[in-house]
Every structure is written in structure tokens, then in C-alpha cells.
Amino acid sequence: MPKKPKTIKVTVDKSHLLTLGEKMYVESIELLRELVNNAYDADATEVNVIISPDKIAVEDNGIGMNEKGLNQFFIIGSREKVTKSVSPRFGRKRIGQFGIGKFAVLSAANRFTVESKKGKWLYSVIFDKKKWQETTSWELPIEKDLASPLRQDGTKVILSDLTRKFNLSDIERYLKESLPLRVKKFTVFLNRKRITPYYIPGKGIPIDINTMYGKIEGEIVIAASSQLVEKQGIECRVKQVLIKRELFGMDPSKYGAGRITGSVNCDFLPITSARDEFIHDSPKYQLFYKVIQGKLRVVLDELQKEADKRSIKKMSRALKEVLDKIKEALKVNPDLTPSGKIVARRQKVSAGELESRGISLKPSSAEATKGKEKKKGEKVEEIKKKILSSCVKRIRFKKLGITCSIAHLGESGPEVYSIKNAIYINQDHPLYQKLYKKHDQLILHLLRLVTQEIIIMKRLRLSLLFRLLKCRANY
């Protein structure tokens, strides 16, 4: 007769369970989200959160729980909401997944009471952390009494013997962000004040995309002003609950990024048990990330184009004013207008006169200039590429046979750059950005840039630059 194999019993220590509840969330305030979400899953239309110095109460008018429901409520890691993922009354997609969120209350209280009315009965269970730890039993006593006919179905969770203090304004701010407040027939009150979702005025761009895993829906908002956006990034939600904000690779310093906000909901995204992060290496999340990233790039490109149109209009007027001033200065000093033999003679200008611009017309030696020419050539090609990809507005100045344009050459790019007879003003340069809204200073800035480029382009002697500067200053 075969010998019966020995076995060992797998158990979980009570202290470990309590620690799990206490440490599961980064902030204790998140327990309120879990309690309100439980009410949402129970088809509540109204939830009242009452905060006082000695206790916290969360009461809802959902379907309530009987003895069987409460027994299910206290099962650790219950998959009830996974197998029955849709609520019975309103068909809501249930938020809860892991069945351990209710123990988040242990991060802020030593005792919590669950009272639930279903039908004509009122059921009550008290969980006292200290007493429960002192016994070897895992069972909790439950009371059943006839309920008052004036009390409606629903559940009330009361936290007492608090170990943490909560700031009312912090709670309100957190609930505004984290709860599914935009869902119909779901209202939350905090100390009898209704909590409403944040509204940021601006242009809304709807998101409604079907993928192989499910739907992505929501709205990207371009706020009327960046000052209206307290926190950068798109709210990423699962079952209408905020998980985190994400920039999707946006450069916060890029034009328009500070105005981008909004909220997208994607129920198929896998999340961590603490519900504060996505599982990034999952193909579902990677698809979601790429889709929203692509949408944001289009939005930012459109914002840049609109800004360029406004900038081009303003710069066109400013450049015209600048060129008119130079034109008048040249009328007063016709000898400064380079043409014919004068240009040919001035082509022989010495290298020393242009050293301040870093331009050498006479290479010192082949070896010394080879590396420099290569670097210079690479830099020139890089700038040319930027010019070709920029939104450029050209203004011709027939008197000198040149054109002035504005282009995006980057914050670290030169203030101005010339190619043959074309002058490009870098509108990304910090000095340009600083002076953009100051008309008179912007005009002087452009005068300086255009004048110095004309001097170099036409091989004028640098001593003549001061005459032209002096002339232009009088206009």
C-alpha cells in the first residue's frame, strides 16, 4: 500500500494582511477614492463623504449588501467584480478588480464599521484591528436587525480611531481629479458640498478610436491660457478613474505644451494593484501610448502653425519698417550702396575685418582649415535643413537685392543667418522671444541683425557699419 505523502499548509499571517492594507497606497487619502468607487460599483447615484476630526463616514444609496454580500466583501483578493464586471442596475463597468482596496482604510484608522441595508434588513460588521490581531480566528461577528422604513438601501462605511489627519481642501482637490464625476447619475458630496469635475475653458478635440483591444475615448483640451492648467499632461483613466497624468513624450518647453490638458479613458489598460500606474511593457499600453502620442503631435503642430501665422504677420510689419529705415539711411549715404567696381574692390576685404564674425576669407593652411571647414559645413547643412523645414516669410529689398525672412533655427541656433542674398532671422532665439512683445526694442534688434548681415554680405568695410548704424538711429 503506497505511503500517503506528507503535506504542508499554506497560510498568511494576519500582520502581513494588515501591512498590505496600510502600505498598499502611497497616500492615505487614496482610501477615500476606494470607498467612493465601491459605491459607484454598487450602482449608487449619490455618495456623501463626511469628514470630522474623529471619524470619516462614506454613505451611498447603492443596491446594498446582505449577509452573503458582506461575506463576499471581506474575501481577500475576491474576483467577484472581475467575473461580474458590469453593475446590475446601470450597467456600469465596475472599477474594482483585486478585492483588497477596502483594507486601504487601515492606513488611516484602527477601526472601521460597515453598515448596509438591503430590503428590510440592516446588516453591520465591525473590524477592529487590535482585537482581530489578538485572536486566532479569522471570522468577524455580523449583526442583523430590522431597518427603519425611512432608511433607503445602501452602504455606510465609518472609520474611527483615526491615525491620520486630513485636510479638507486636499481631499476636495483629490476627489475632483480621481473620481468618475462626469458619469451620468453619479453625484458625490463632501461635507454636504457637491464635488464637480474641473472645467478648463478652451478648445476641445474629441478622441474616439477603436483599437484591436477596445475603445479609447475622451478629449484633448487646448486651454485658453497656460495659467489655467495647474498640472501638465493628459489624465489617463481606466473605467473613468484617474490612474495618472502622462505627457506622452511631449517636451514641456515646446510651444503650446503648457496649454495641453484633457482626459482620455481606456478600459482595456492593465494597471497595478495600487491603481496608480500602468503596466508599461504590456502591448495594450504600448498601443495606447503610441495612439495618444500621435494625436498630441498633430495638436502641437497645429498650435505651432497658428503661432507662426501670427508671428509672421507681426514680423512682416516689423521687417518692412526696418528695411524702410535702412533704405532711408542709404538715401542719405549713397556711397554705402555697394555696386559695380565698389563691390569688386570690397570683395578683397581683409580677414581681420571679419574676425569678429568668425569668418575667414583667407584659409591659413590646408591642415588647419580642413577640420574647421568640415565642422562648418556640417553646421551649415544643419541650419539649411532647419530653414527648409521652417515656416518662412520672405520680404524682398530690391535696393540691395536681398530678401529678409523669419525661420525656426532653434533656441541654441544663431540669432541670424545668411545664405547668398537671403537673411534669416531666428525667431526661436531667446533674445528674440524676450523682445517679441516690445515693439520698439524688437525694431532695434532687427535693425542690428539686418544691418550686420548686409555689411558682411556686401563686403562693406566694418568702419562703414558705424555710419549706417548712426544713420539708421536717426529714423
What digits encode the pLDDT tens for the residues 113-145? 999 999 999 999 998 888 888 888 888 889 999
pLDDT at res. 25: 60
Using the predicted structure, report yes or no on whether residue 24 has a pLDDT greater than 70: no
Q: How many domains does the chain have?
A: 3
Q: Classify residue 7: in a domain, yes or no.
A: no
Using the predicted structure, report yes or no on whether residue 344 has a pLDDT greater than 70: no
Confidence of residue 288 (pLDDT cuts 50, 70, 90): very high
Shared domain check, 32 and 100: yes
Shared domain check, 162 and 68: yes
Shared domain check, 234 and 140: no
Q: Classify residue 297: in a domain, yes or no.
A: no
Centre a 10 Å sphere on the Cβ of residue 270 and count the other Cβ atoms it contains. 14
| Boundary (domain end) residue, out of 279, 300, 317 | 279
pLDDT at res. 106: 75
The arithmetic mean of pLDDT across residues 19-44, rounded, is 79
Name which of 284-293, 384-393, 437-446 the model is least confident about: 384-393
The tens digit of pLDDT for each residue in 94-116 reads 887 656 666 677 778 889 899 99
Largest CA-CA distance found in the chain, in angstroms, rounded? 121
The arithmetic mean of pLDDT across residues 33-53, rounded, is 93
Host domain of residue 254: 202-279
Confidence of residue 379 (pLDDT cuts 50, 70, 90): low
Residue 81 phi/psi, 5-degree rounding, is: -80, -10
The tens digit of pLDDT for each residue in 396-440 reads 766 667 788 777 787 888 888 887 778 888 878 888 878 877 888
The arithmetic mean of pLDDT across residues 266-279, rounded, is 87
Element of type H or E holding 237: strand 234-238
The 3-class SS string of 24-85 reads CCCCCCHHHHHHHHHHHHCCCCEEEEEECCCEEEEEECCCCCCHHHHHHHCCCCCCHHHHCC
Long-range contacts of 344-352 (CB under 8 A, 24+ apart): 346/458, 346/459, 346/460, 346/461, 347/459, 349/459, 349/461
Using the predicted structure, report yes or no on whether residue 340 has a pLDDT greater than 60: no
Shared domain check, 145 and 93: yes
> What single-letter DSSP state applies at residue 428?
T
pLDDT at res. 364: 47
Q: Which cell numbers hold the place of 300?
A: 502641437
Shared domain check, 228 and 121: no
pLDDT at res. 363: 47
Name which of 56-70, 284-298, 439-453 the model is least confident about: 439-453
Amino acid sitting at position 43:
D
Of 162 and 458, which is predicted with more confidence? 162
Q: Classify residue 295: in a domain, yes or no.
A: no
Confidence of residue 252 (pLDDT cuts 50, 70, 90): confident
468: left (phi over 0), alpha (psi -120 to 50) or beta: alpha
pLDDT at res. 269: 93
The label of the residue with cell 470630522 reads 52
pLDDT at res. 393: 60
Using the predicted structure, report yes or no on whether residue 7 has a pLDDT greater than 60: yes
Confidence of residue 351 (pLDDT cuts 50, 70, 90): very low
Shared domain check, 103 and 40: yes
Of 316 and 414, which is predicted with more confidence? 414
383 vs 400: CA distance, rounded Å = 24
312 vs 307: CA distance, rounded Å = 8
pLDDT at res. 347: 44
- 161 burial class (0-12, 13-18, 19+ CB within 10 angstroms)? middle
Q: What is the mean pLDDT of the chain?
A: 79
Centre a 10 Å sphere on the Cβ of residue 79 and count the other Cβ atoms it contains. 11
Shared domain check, 377 and 441: yes
Q: Classify residue 260: in a domain, yes or no.
A: yes
Q: Provide the total of helices (H) and of strands (E) in the chain, helices listed first.
A: 12, 17
7 vs 263: CA distance, rounded Å = 52
* Residue in 393, 396, 397, 415 with CA at minimum distance from that of residue 405: 393
Percentage of the residues of the chain whose pLDDT score is greater than 70: 74
Shared domain check, 391 and 271: no
Q: Classify residue 1: in a domain, yes or no.
A: no
Name which of 40-44, 46-50, 82-86, 210-214 the model is least confident about: 82-86
| Boundary (domain end) residue, out of 163, 178, 195 | 195
